Each structure stands twice: as structure tokens, then as C-alpha cells.
Amino acid sequence: MLKPAILCVDDEVAVLESLEIELRQAFNENYFYEFAESAAEALEIIDELCEDGINILVIVSDWLMPGMKGDELLIKIHQKYPKIVTVMLTGQADKEAIERTKTQANLHAFLQKPWQNSELIKAIESGLTKL
């Protein structure tokens, strides 16, 4: 059976590298970990994973990214895949974007950068219990 996936989206490679280390330390090899540097790349990865029959459980996304912002991305994903748990991890997001994501993408958690590792893992774990 294929492992489910956790997808992280951020335009900063250093953030994605930090997230990978933290997720692997917390969850070992229980999940596939995928990383995208843009919303467009994230949407491609989601389509590929779904085509391969891999269940995406959680998406952790930045808000301020070139092209499509994180709220737009999470709303688009939620419309197509409403069971995916969404987490926004950002240093900059306006209150309207956060509220929009809560109401239109069922945002599970909002965390500020720089984040606390334990806070991020706790948010993901609590999201996984909802599945």
C-alpha cells in the first residue's frame, strides 16, 4: 500500500529544507514528503500524486508567493479535494486572506514565521486526527 503524502509549498528553498527536516524527525518515513516552490508547481504535484493513487493528507503553504498567493492556492485545492487538511505558515498575510482561507478552504491552522517546530507538528497532528 502506498504511503500518504504531506505537501509543503513555499518560494524559499531554505524554508522547504527546514520543513523537510522537521517533518522527517517528527513522522519518520510514515509519509511521502513533497515540496513545491510555487502554487503552480504544487498543483502539478497534487495532480501527479492523485494520478498515482497517493492520498494527500496535509498541505502546509506559505501565503506571500509569486504568481498565486497561498490563500488562492488553498481555496483552489479545497474545492477539488475538500478532505485535505490545510495549514498556512507565513510571515506576511493580511487578515482578509486568512479569514477567506478559513471560510473557503476550511483552514485548519495559521502559523506565523518564524515558527516553533512543536507548534507546527502539533497543528499537523491535530489535522491528521480529523481525517
CATH number of the CATH domain containing 35: 3.40.50.2300
- Number of domains making up the chain: 1
Q: What is the pLDDT of residue 114?
A: 94
Residue 90 lies in a domain: yes
Question: pLDDT tens track of the chain, all 131 residues?
Answer: 789 999 999 999 999 999 999 999 999 999 999 999 999 999 999 999 999 999 999 999 999 999 999 999 999 999 999 999 999 999 887 899 999 999 999 999 999 999 999 999 999 999 999 87
Q: What CA–CA distance (Å, rounded) separates 80 from 49?
A: 14
Residue 77 lies in a domain: no
Residue 58 lies in a domain: yes
**Torsion, Cα of 31, 37, 38, 42 (10° steps):** -20
Residue 73 lies in a domain: no
Residue 76 lies in a domain: no
Residue 78 lies in a domain: no
Q: What CA–CA distance (Å, rounded) separates 67 from 57?
A: 24
Residue 79 lies in a domain: no
Q: What CA–CA distance (Å, rounded) separates 58 from 120?
A: 12
Q: Are 86 and 104 in contact (CB under 8 A)?
A: no
Range of the domain at 40: 5-68+85-125
